[in-house]
């Protein structure tokens, strides 16, 4: 999968590395801004109160 | 470098110019034994299985699993650390906005009861309890830094208050400045992690609760560790059920240890004095209250 991705990228190796770094950074920002906050609702809520207050 | 590329098989064809420049003893020995035609044939043979490997279900599944693992680790890093760092300035701005709104409201003639200053300092006004999930107070703790400024909302529902990055007030407990116990809860980490550093509080550290009326200053006294069922900390006199309160207390509750819900860590504070909004913020938190504008 990733080998195939490497093959379809254009240019010499350093251009490919540069493209991958930019793509990875963009994906990370998208995860932090939208995906993680959205996914958070599916994580079992932790009760931090005393007595079962929820 | 050449040896490293050789190990990956399929990547070699990305560097056609390098193919003849093998320096490893293995590679040069193999080449010198074979005639040029055989070398081409062997290269072709090496490429075909590499292409098959790229398409293999197991290979793709493995890469997807590794990707999923990295995503889970990134999510945990975000939830337990990065998100708290990113949300702290946002929450401080919201707290500052609320404080400035209260400043404006106080300038209207109807606000602020006219009591003698000496009296109000020790007999502070007490608000009536707000609606669920409504922000009614702000928390400032100089020990946590001048940037620490968080809204407090009514209720301790995990889904409606605490997971919305709020510090929550136990509705069964008293309001700030009232005789008895004003108890608030927060996450230790994640969702703002307001009380992350509760264990760093030292005896005498000031904790400020700001409302529309002004600033209630409390002094930190001690920590206690209880089980999640330890509702005694909510009593007007903590751990003494049915005893009538004479003191004004502030109690912080959160999780202990870090990243666990096995125990609760409780921080008790006693009331010092009240500063009306008209007098401006106490010096100790002036930078916190005024700094964010």
Do B71 and A31 make contact, defined as CB atoms within 8 angstroms? Answer: yes
Q: Is B169 among the residues known to form the active site?
A: no
Mean pLDDT of chain A: 88
Do B159 and A39 make contact, defined as CB atoms within 8 angstroms? Answer: no
Cα distance between residue B176 and residue B138, in whole Å: 11
> Which candidate from B59, B74, B230 shows the least CB-CB separation from A50?
B230
Residue A47, min C-alpha distance to chain B (Å): 6
Q: What is the pLDDT of residues B236-250, one digit of tens each?
A: 999 998 899 899 999
Q: Is the ipTM of this complex over 0.95?
A: no
Alpha-carbon dihedral B24, B28, B29, B34, rounded to 10 degrees: 150
Q: Is B196 among the residues known to form the active site?
A: no
The domain spans of chain B are 2-55, 118-291
pTM of full prediction above 0.90: no
Radius of gyration of chain B from its Cα atoms, rounded to whole angstroms: 31
Instruction: Out of B8, B196, B199, B255, pick the active-site residue.
Output: B255
Cα distance between residue B278 and residue B243, in whole Å: 36
Contacts of B151 (CB under 8 A, 6+ apart): B91, B94, B95, B98, B135, B137, B138, B139, B166, B167
Res A31: pLDDT = 94
Nearest to B154, CA basis, from B193, B181, B195, B183: B183
Q: Which fold has domain B118-291?
A: Sortase; Chain: A; (2.40.260)
Residue B149 has pLDDT above 90, yes or no: yes
Average pLDDT of the residues in B79-96: 92
């Amino acid at each position: 999968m990733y080998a195939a991705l490497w093959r379809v990228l254009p240019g010499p190796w350093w251009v490919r590395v540069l493209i991958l770094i930019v793509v990875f950074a963009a994906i990370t920002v998208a995860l932090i801004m939208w995906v993680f906050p959205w996914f958070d609702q599916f994580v079992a809520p932790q009760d931090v109160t005393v007595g079962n207050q929820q | 470098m050449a040896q490293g590329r050789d190990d990956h098989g399929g990547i070699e064809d990305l560097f056609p110019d390098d193919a003849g420049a093998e320096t490893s003893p293995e590679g040069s020995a193999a080449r010198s034994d074979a005639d040029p035609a055989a070398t081409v044939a062997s290269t072709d043979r090496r490429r075909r299985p590499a292409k098959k490997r790229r398409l293999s279900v197991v290979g793709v599944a493995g890469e997807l699993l590794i990707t999923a693992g990295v995503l889970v680790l990134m999510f945990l890093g975000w939830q337990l650390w990065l998100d708290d760092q990113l949300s702290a300035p946002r929450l401080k701005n919201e707290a500052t906005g609320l404080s400035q709104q209260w400043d404006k409201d106080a300038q209207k003639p109807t606000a602020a009861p006219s009591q003698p200053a000496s009296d109000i300092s020790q007999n502070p006004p007490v608000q009536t309890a707000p609606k669920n999930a409504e922000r009614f107070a702000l928390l400032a703790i100089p020990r946590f830094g001048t940037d620490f400024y968080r809204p407090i909302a009514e209720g301790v529902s995990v889904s409606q208050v605490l997971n919305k990055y709020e510090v929550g007030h136990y509705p069964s407990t008293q309001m700030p400045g009232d005789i008895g116990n004003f108890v608030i809860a927060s996450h230790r980490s994640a969702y703002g992690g307001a009380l992350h550093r509760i264990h760093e509080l030292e005896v005498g550290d000031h904790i400020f609760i700001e409302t529309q009326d002004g600033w209630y200053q409390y002094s930190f006294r001690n920590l206690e560790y209880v089980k999640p069922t330890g509702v005694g900390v909510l009593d007007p006199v903590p751990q003494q059920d049915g005893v009538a309160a004479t003191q004004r207390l502030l109690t912080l509750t959160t999780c202990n240890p870090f990243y666990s819900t096995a125990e609760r860590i409780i921080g008790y504070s006693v009331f010092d004095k009240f500063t009306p909004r008209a007098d401006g913020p106490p010096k100790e938190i002036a930078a916190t209250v005024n700094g964010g504008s």
